[in-house]
Amino acid sequence: MIAKKIILSLLFCSFINYEIEAQTAIAVGNKSIELSGIVAGFYNYRILKPEEDNFKNNKLALRNIIFCVNGRVENKWEYEFQADFLNMSNSTMADPENPGIVTAFIAYKALPVKIKFGYDKLPYSQGALASIYETPYWSRTQITRGDFFSRRDVGITLSSSLWRQRLNIYAGAYTGLGETVFTANGGDVDPSGSLEYIGRIDAAFPSRYRYDEIDYKHSPIPLIRIGANTRYTDKTQPGDNTLPLNVAGIYGLKVINGKKLIYGFDISIAYQGFSAQAESQLLKLNPAKSDDLLYHNTTEDVSEKVIYAGGFQGQVNYFWKSAKSLFSARYENYNTNDLVSGSAERVSAAYAYQINGFKNSIKIQYFKILAEDENSEPLKWTDQIRIGWQYMF
C-alpha cells in the first residue's frame, strides 16, 4: 500500500515540473532585475497510533508556489520581493515555515555597514537562516521552524563582513510580532509599542563559509564556522490591553505578555562532501501576569516567575557528487516548558536526487518520534514519510 502511494506521489510531482527552464534576468545601464520562482509539492504519509483512525494528513499537497523579484542599482542598492501565492490566504500564520509574504526589503550596501529595511529572515539561528530548498529536507526542526521564535519580521538590520567575509556581525530592531505583523491588529503594532532586538556574530576559518548545510562544492580544505546570537523583547501589555490574536504560536512561546530573552550557539563544518551542524537554543520567559497560562497554575515559590524552554539539534550530511545524491540525518530534543514534566525527541533522515542541482530535485524525508511530550504536545502519529519534487526556475 505504501509503495503504491509513493508511486502515485511521484506521478503527481511530475506534473508540477513546469516548462520553465531558466531564470529571467534583465539589465539596462546600471540597473538589473531578475525574475525567478519555486514550485514544490509532496505526498505525505503518516503512521498513526493504533487507536487513531483519521488519515486526513495522508495526502498529496503543494508546499509552495513562490514568485521572486530581485533587483540592483549601481551595485549600491538592492531590493527583493518574494510571495508564496499558495499560502497568501494563511493570514493567521498557522504554519510559520510557509508564510504568504516571504521577503520584501530594500538595502543600501555602499557603506562599510549594510543597511536593510523591510520584511525578511531575521539574523538569528543557523538552522533558521539556511535555505530549506538547498537541503534534502521538506521541513526544519521544531526548534527552528518558527514556533519557538519568529524567523521573519519587519525591521531594520545592520550588518558588516570583516576579515575577508570570514567574520559577520548583525544587529537589528524589529516589531517583535514575527510573521503575523501584516495581520495583527490590522497591521498596527501591539499595545506595548516595544520592539525586539537581535544580535548575531559568526566567524569562519580558514575561509568564507556561507549558510549552506550541504557541502555541494566538496571543499578541498576543512571549513568551520562558529556562531552566537541573542534576542530580547519586553511585550508587557499596559493596563487591560492584550496581545493581538494568533501571535503566540502553537506553544504560546513565540510572543508573550512579558519579557522574553533567547540566546543560542551553533557550529557548522564541511570537508570533501561531508558536513555537519549543531545548534542549541535557550528561552527565558517572564510572563507579566501571575495567572498566565504558561505558569500552568504553579505558585510563585515553584515558578520563581520564570519559565525556561529550548532544545538542541544536530545534523550530519554527505553529498555524493557523481551520483547526484544528498544524504542527511538529524536529531532534535526540545522542551516547551520546564514547569511541565516531559520533553520531545525526534530523528529524521532525508535523501535527495539532483536532476539539475537544487533547481530540479526529488526529495524524501522520514520522521520518527523517539519520545513524546505527552503533557505539552500530545501526538496522534509515530512516523511520517514525505516524498516530492521541487523545481526552481
44-61: average pLDDT: 97
Average pLDDT over residues 162-180: 96
In this prediction, residue 6 carries a pLDDT of 45
Instruction: Write down the pLDDT at residue 330.
Output: 98
| 246 three-state secondary structure | coil
Residue 240 pairs in a beta bridge with none
Cβ neighbours of 340 (radius 10 Å) = 18
Single pTM value for the model = 0.92
* pLDDT value at residue 27: 86
The stretch 250-275 carries a mean pLDDT of: 97
Average pLDDT estimate for 118-136: 97
Q: How far is CA 203 from CA 98, 113, 126, 146, 223, in A?
A: 29, 17, 12, 25, 11
> Cβ(177)–Cβ(189) under 8 Å?
yes
* Whether 99 contacts 179, CB under 8 Å: yes
pLDDT at residue number 187: 61
- pLDDT for the residue numbered 153: 96
State yes or no: pLDDT of 232 exceeds 50.
Answer: yes
64-97 CB burial, b ≥16 within 10 A, e <16: bbbebbbbbeeeeebbbbbbbebbeebeebebbb
Question: Model confidence at 28, in pLDDT bands (50, 70, 90)?
Answer: confident
Q: Would you say 46 and 52 are in contact if contact means Cβ atoms under 8 Å apart? A: no
State the pLDDT at residue 12. Answer: 44
pLDDT at 20: 37
Percent of the chain with pLDDT over 90: 86
Kindly report the CATH number assigned to the domain that includes residue 257: 2.40.160.10
Q: Does residue 220 surpass a pLDDT of 60? A: yes
Q: What are phi and psi of 286, to 5 degrees?
A: -125, 80
Task: Round to whole Å and give the CA distance between 352 and 389.
Answer: 9
- Name the residue range of residue 216's domain: 2-392
- Total domains in the fold of the chain: 1
pLDDT mean across residues, the chain: 92
Q: CA angle, corner 317, sides to 311 and 320, nearest 5? A: 170
CA dist., res. 322 & res. 241, Å (int): 60
**At 94, is the pLDDT very low, low, confident or very high (cuts 50, 70, 90)?**
low
With cell 540597473, the residue in question is 31
Radius of gyration of the chain (CA): 21
CA dist 34 and 25 (Å) reads 4
Please state, in angstroms and rounded to a whole number, the distance separating the CA atoms of residues 300 and 313. 31
Give mean pLDDT, residues 214-222: 97
Residue 254's CB is within 10 A of a number of other CB atoms, namely: 23
How large is the average pLDDT for residues 165-172? 98
* Cα–Cα distance for residue pair 45/385, rounded to 1 Å: 5
Which region among 2-16, 121-135, 318-332 has the lowest average model confidence (pLDDT)?
2-16
- Site of grid cell 549594510: 114
Q: Cα–Cα distances in Å, from 42 out to 16, 64, 163, 388? A: 10, 10, 42, 4
Reply yes or no: is the peptide bond before residue 206 cis, omega within 30 of 0.
yes
CA–CA dist 135, 122 (Å, integer):
19
Q: Which amino acid is at 255?
A: V
